[in-house]
Amino acid sequence: MDPTTDNAGTTGNPDNARASLEALRAEIAKAVVGQDPAVTGLVVALLCRGHVLLEGVPGVAKTLLVRALASALELDTKRVQFTPDLMPSDVTGSLVYDTRSAEFSFQPGPVFTNLLLADEINRTPPKTQSSLLEAMEERQVTVDGTPRLLPDPFLVAATQNPVEYEGTYPLPEAQLDRFLLKLTIPLPSRQDEIDVLTRHAEGFNPRDLKAAGVRPVAGPADLEAARAAVAKTTVSPEITAYVVDICRATRESPSLTLGVSPRGATALLATSRAWAWLTGRDYVIPDDVKALALPTLRHRVQLRPEAEMEGVTPDSVINAILAHVPVPR
């Protein structure tokens, strides 16, 4: 068998990879109703080797979405429920004494996976939250002075509840900045909710994705080919300047105390390239930047208290900036 062929039956060809990744939406829709933007965001993050913060009230299928994505991509996934008593070693792993060999051996934690679902990440103290920082940034975990590489691909999909703040520990700006995208998971429309209930009435079991018909349609080889193609996507000097102007405008906004950092500008350029490639182009246009501006930047800005009291939101500030920054022709 050709070594570039994965178990899903596709090769590392960029065109085949794009078709396979486009098929993800239809495959995941067998289990999750009406969350196409979130699926696209997760794929963009995988292409950019980034991580995703999923925000939504309980019961909108955040966990099911990640599990369905892992099944459709034939990737390993693990889930960690973040609680106030969770220790860093519960995430990263630890050294365990083996009485038979009289030696310490490393027991890998759940972070050693392809897709890590960090459920309700803001319910655990900062010390445990920070245990993910090295894994997210360096793609490795250091225990007892020894670095251990994580699998590739590796993506952290962290969830948080936007309405219940009692007993939570808000993520610090430094950690928020490590997430490539912040995706909001809305409540379903009336028709989507009817479809969800109809599926359950017909016997759908969210814990049995195979029975729901979710099958692998892409694999690691497709992701690798797609990443190589995204890296070749052309960015003109005008587009680069457009991204910089948008991010600099956030730093000058009277509604914000914290604007987008240069890391955020780099992230917006990366996600725009991935989106351009997914839509079938090998060059970036201003619409690509606009399409990814909200999910890439909304968690990298901080509102002034008086603006927040007036009902201003990060999304409204970014939309206003997009409306005023000159678009390159």
Instruction: Write out the E strands in the chain.
Output: 52-55, 77-81, 93-98, 103-108, 115-119, 140-143, 146-149, 155-160, 181-184, 256-258, 302-303
- Please compute the mean of the pLDDT values over residues 191-210 and round it to a whole number: 90
Asked whether the beta carbons of 216 and 21 are under 8 A apart, the reply is no
286-297 and 262-278 are packed helices; what angle lies between their axes, rounded to 10 degrees?
130
Structure tokens at 22: 């486009």
Residue-level pLDDT at 9: 42
Beta bridge pairs of residue 94: 107
Q: pTM here?
A: 0.88
Structure tokens at 108: 């890998």
Per residue in 257-309, pLDDT (tens digit) is 999 999 999 999 999 999 999 999 999 999 999 999 999 999 999 999 999 99
For residue 24, pLDDT beyond 70 = yes
Sign of torsion, CA 75 108 42 17?
negative
Q: pLDDT tier at 61 (50, 70, 90 boundaries)?
A: confident
The larger pLDDT score, comparing residue 36 to residue 253, is at 253
Per residue in 113-152, pLDDT (tens digit) is 999 999 988 888 888 888 888 889 889 998 888 889 999 9
DSSP state of 61: S
Q: How many CB atoms lie within 10 A of CB 59?
A: 7
Structure tokens at 140: 């490795």
- Please compute the mean of the pLDDT values over residues 5-17 and round it to a whole number: 60
Task: Work out the mean pLDDT of the chain and round it to a whole number.
Answer: 89
Structure tokens at 86: 């969770």
The larger pLDDT score, comparing residue 318 to residue 210, is at 318
- Please compute the mean of the pLDDT values over residues 80-91 and round it to a whole number: 91
- For residues 285 and 282, give the distance between their C-alpha atoms in angstroms, rounded to a whole number: 10
Residue-level pLDDT at 191: 93
Q: pLDDT tier at 12 (50, 70, 90 boundaries)?
A: low
Report the percent of the chain where pLDDT is more than 70: 95
Structure tokens at 323: 């409306």
CA distances from 42 to 51, 54, 68, 160, 224 (A): 8, 10, 12, 16, 15
For residue 8, pLDDT beyond 80 = no
- For residues 178 and 156, give the distance between their C-alpha atoms in angstroms, rounded to a whole number: 10
- Beta strand 155-160 pairing with 52-55: parallel
Residue-level pLDDT at 10: 45
CA distances from 200 to 31, 114, 156, 186, 205 (A): 11, 29, 29, 20, 7
